[in-house]
Chain A
Amino acid sequence: MGYQRMRKKRWVPWALVTPALLIIVLTTIYPLLAAFYFSFHKYKLRSPPQFAIQIGDGGLRIDWSLLTLDNYTLAFRDSRFLNSLEVTFWFTVLSVALSVIIGLGIAVVVQKGGRLHSLTKALLIFPFAVSPALKGYSWRFMLNENYGIYDLLIDSLIIKPINAVLAIFNALPFVEIPLLSESIVWLGDRFWALFMLAMSETWGWAPLIALMFVGALGSIDGQIFEAARIDGANRLQIFFRVTLPLLRPVILIVTMLKTIFSLKMFDQVVTMTGGGPVRATQTINYYIHQVGFVRGLDIGYASAQSYILVVVLTICAALYVSLVLNRD
Chain B
Amino acid sequence: MPASATNHRQNFAKALEIAALLLIISFIVLPIFWLALTAVKPQEKAYTTDILFRPTLDNFEIIFSDTSVLINEGTERERGEVGRDMLPNVVNSVVVSGATILTAIPLATLAAYAFSRYQFLGSGVLLIWILTTQFIPAIVVAIPFFTLFRAIELFGSPLLGSRLGLIIVNMSIILPYAIWMIKGFVDALPTEIEEAAFVDGCNDFQILFFISLPLIRPGVLVASVFAFIMSWNEFLFALIIGREMRTMQVALMTTSGARGIMWEQMAAAGMVVMAPIFVLALFIRKNVVDGLTMGAVK
Contacts and interface: CB of A to CB of B under 8 A. Distances in A.
Interface of A: 1-6, 9-10, 12-14, 16-17, 19-21, 23-24, 27-28, 30-32, 34-35, 38, 45, 106, 109-110, 116-117, 119-120, 122-135, 137-142, 146-149, 152, 203, 207-208, 211-212, 215-216, 219, 250, 253-254, 257, 260, 263-264, 266-267, 270-271, 285, 288-289, 292-293, 299, 302-303, 306-307, 309-310, 313-314, 316-317, 320-321, 323-325, 327
B145 interface: yes
Given A12-B118, A13-B118, A19 B110 contact: yes
A316 B267 CA distance: 36
A4 B267 CA distance: 58
A138 B28 contact: no
A137 B270 contact: yes
A134 B146 contact: no
A266 B175 contact: no
Contacts of B253: 270-271
27 contacts: A14-B120, A19-B111, A20-B108, A20-B179, A27-B172, A31-B140, A31-B172, A120-B25, A123-B25, A125-B288, A127-B31, A128-B229, A133-B233, A134-B252, A137-B252, A138-B267, A203-B31, A207-B28, A212-B293, A250-B297, A266-B138, A266-B235, A267-B249, A292-B143, A299-B147, A309-B140, A324-B296
A116 B289 CA distance: 21
Contacts of A138: 31, 34-35, 267, 270
B220 to A, nearest CB: 14
A233 to B, nearest CB: 15
A23 B171 contact: yes
A68 B212 CA distance: 53
A134 B263 CA distance: 12
Nearest to B249: A133
Contacts of A30: 144
B126 interface: yes
Nearest to A210: B24
B133 A24 contact: yes
A12 B204 contact: yes
A109 B31 contact: no
B40 to A, nearest CB: 15
Given A109-B20, A131-B273, A134-B35, 17 more contacts: A2-B118, A19-B110, A23-B171, A27-B145, A28-B133, A28-B141, A30-B144, A125-B282, A129-B280, A131-B274, A134-B273, A207-B28, A266-B235, A303-B143, A306-B139, A309-B140, A313-B135
B235 A35 contact: no
A36 to B, nearest CB: 9
A125 B293 contact: no
B164 interface: no
Contacts of A24: 130, 133, 171-172, 175-176
**Top-9 shortest CB links A-B:** A34-B144, A131-B233, A27-B172, A317-B135, A16-B114, A13-B118, A20-B111, A13-B114, A267-B235
Interface string B105-130: 00110110111111110010010101
Contacts of A146: 47
Contacts of A2: 118-119
A27 B130 CA distance: 12
A324 B298 CA distance: 11
A98 to B, nearest CB: 12
B38 A141 contact: yes
Contact of B266 (A5, A137, A316): A137
